[in-house]
Amino acid sequence: MDITAIAKNFTEFYYSQFALGRLNLAPLYRPHSMLTWEGKQFQGGANIVQHLNELPFEKVAHKISTFDAQPSSLDMSTLLISVTGLLRVDGDQELQFSQVFVLAKEGESFYVLNDMFRLNLG
């Protein structure tokens, strides 16, 4: 299993869909999936995507600076990804962010088990 390739494909897909339409992200989550967004907690795909969709901006672009991936269980059933980067919403100035995902295996693909997002405001 090429963990780095999976992580790269996932992050590219996630941020491209985030820009195209945040509701597109719903299939990535399951009922027990968790999001912590700037300290606020949400559980389940419907709640998670509703929150993302209600964020008060129209346009958003993420630029990935670094991403790291590691297997996170002895049987390779989960995968930890850490992303740092810059994002720009509605033409404002760029902001640094950190986002962490744990992907869990389901058949031949993965879903998002854990998702944590923080702006790095210093």
Q: Which two tokens stand for residue 80?
A: 């930890």
Q: Which two tokens stand for residue 101?
A: 């995902």
Residue closer to its own copies, measured from CB, 21 or 107: 107
Residue closer to its own copies, measured from CB, 21 or 31: 31
User: Does the protein bind its own copies through residue 74 (CB under 8 A)?
Assistant: yes
> Which listed residue (86, 88, 89, 105) binds its own copies by CB under 8 A?
86
102, 82 contact by CB (below 8 A): no
User: Tokens 């912590």 identify what position?
Assistant: 36
17, 24 contact by CB (below 8 A): yes
Start-end of H helices in 21-120: 45-54
Query: What residue ranges bind its own copies (CB under 8 A)?
Result: 32, 34, 36, 39, 65-66, 68, 70-74, 78, 80, 82, 84, 86, 94, 96, 98, 100, 102, 113-114, 116, 118, 120-122
